[in-house]
Amino acid sequence: MSEVILEGRGLTRRYTTDRGQTLTACREVDICLQYGRTLGIVGESGCGKSTLLRMMTQLEPPNEGRLIFRGQDITALKGEALRKNRCHIQMVFQDPTSAFFGRMKAGEAITEPLGNFQKLSAKQIREKQAELLRLVRLPEDFAHRYPHSMSGGQRQRLGIARALAVDPAVLVCDEATSALDVSVQEKIITLLVEIQRQRQLSMIFVCHDLALVQSLSHQVMVMYLGGAVESLPGNEVWDKASHPYSKALLSSIFAIDMDFDKPLPTLKGEVPSPVNLPQGCAFHTRCPQCRERCRNERPAMREIGPNHRVACHLFGQ
Cβ proximity to ligand SF4, 189 vs 282, nearer residue: 282
Q: Which one of the spans 17-25, 88-96, 127-135, 285-293 is the region binding ligand SF4 (CB under 6 A)?
A: 285-293
**Residue 217 contacts by C-beta under 8 Å, 6 or more apart in sequence?**
38, 39, 40, 205, 234
Q: φ and ψ at 106, to 5 degrees?
A: -55, -45
CA angle 34, 40, 43 (to 5 degrees): 140
Q: Which one of the spans 62-70, 120-128, 246-254, 287-295 is the region binding ligand SF4 (CB under 6 A)?
A: 287-295
Cβ proximity to ligand SF4, 65 vs 280, nearer residue: 280
| 244 scored as a contact of ligand SF4 (CB under 6 A) | yes
Q: Which one of the spans 27-35, 40-48, 190-198, 281-289 is the region binding ligand SF4 (CB under 6 A)?
A: 281-289
Given 90, 231, 299, 309, the residue binding ligand SF4 (CB under 6 A): 299
Cβ at position 291, least distance to ligand SF4 in Å = 6
Burial 88-119 (b: 16+ CB within 10 A, else e): bbbbbbbbbbebbeeeebbbbbbbbbbeeeee
Torsion of CA 184, 189, 194, 200, to 10 degrees: 150
Calpha distance 250→256 (Å, rounded): 14
| 312 scored as a contact of ligand SF4 (CB under 6 A) | yes
Q: Is 90 in contact with 98 (CB distance < 8 Å)?
A: no
The size of the chain, in residues, is 317
| 296 scored as a contact of ligand SF4 (CB under 6 A) | no
Cβ at position 298, least distance to ligand SF4 in Å = 8
Q: Is 148 in contact with 98 (CB distance < 8 Å)?
A: no
Q: Which one of the spans 76-84, 130-138, 190-198, 284-292 is the region binding ligand SF4 (CB under 6 A)?
A: 284-292
Binding to ligand SF4 in span 248-277, by CB under 6 A: none
Q: φ and ψ at 41, to 5 degrees?
A: -120, 130
Given 289, 292, 300, 307, the residue binding ligand SF4 (CB under 6 A): 289
Cβ proximity to ligand SF4, 138 vs 310, nearer residue: 310
Query: How many residues sit in the footprint of ligand SF4 (CB under 6 A)?
Result: 13
What one-character-per-residue DSSP string does 237-281 give?
Answer: HHHH--SHHHHHHHHTS--TTS-TTSPPP---SPPPPTTSPPSS-
| 65 scored as a contact of ligand SF4 (CB under 6 A) | no
Q: Which one of the spans 31-39, 62-70, 172-180, 288-296 is the region binding ligand SF4 (CB under 6 A)?
A: 288-296
Given 157, 162, 218, 284, the residue binding ligand SF4 (CB under 6 A): 284
Q: Rounded to a whole number, what is the distance in angstroms from the first to the last CA of the chain?
A: 26
| 47 scored as a contact of ligand SF4 (CB under 6 A) | no
**Residue 83 contacts by C-beta under 8 Å, 6 or more apart in sequence?**
116
| 283 scored as a contact of ligand SF4 (CB under 6 A) | yes
**Footprint on this chain of ligand SF4 (rule: CB under 6 A):** 243-244, 281, 283-284, 287, 289-290, 294, 299, 312-314
